[in-house]
Each structure stands twice: as structure tokens, then as C-alpha cells.
Amino acid sequence: MSVQQRNLEVEQVHVEKRSDSSKVAATFIKYAAYVVITLGILYFLAEYVLPKF
């Protein structure tokens, strides 16, 4: 029987947490706008469309 030697290469991955404040602020503004638009649509439906039924 022959002994096989394995050459294993271990890949190390370093994850850096990036805290780019401009990207964070832009993302917050984008999702805040989504929330405001959604609430505006729901308010419109509740005040003007639903009472007509």
C-alpha cells in the first residue's frame, strides 16, 4: 500500500466591515422615502377610496 500525501491549500478570507457614512446615509434616505411613499398611498386609500364603498 502506498501512502498518499495531500497538499491542501487553505484559503483565508478576511472580511472588513466598511462603514462608509455616505453609503449608509444614502441607503437610509432611500428606504425612508419608500416608507413615506407607502404610508402616503395607504393614507390616500383609507381616506378617499375606502369610504366610497
The domains of the chain are located at 21-52
Higher pLDDT, 15 or 24: 24
Rg of the chain (C-alpha set)? 27
Q: What is the pLDDT of residue 4?
A: 64
Compute the C-alpha angle 47/52/53, nearest 5°.
115
Whether the model pTM is above 0.75: no
**Residue 7 corresponds to which amino acid?**
N
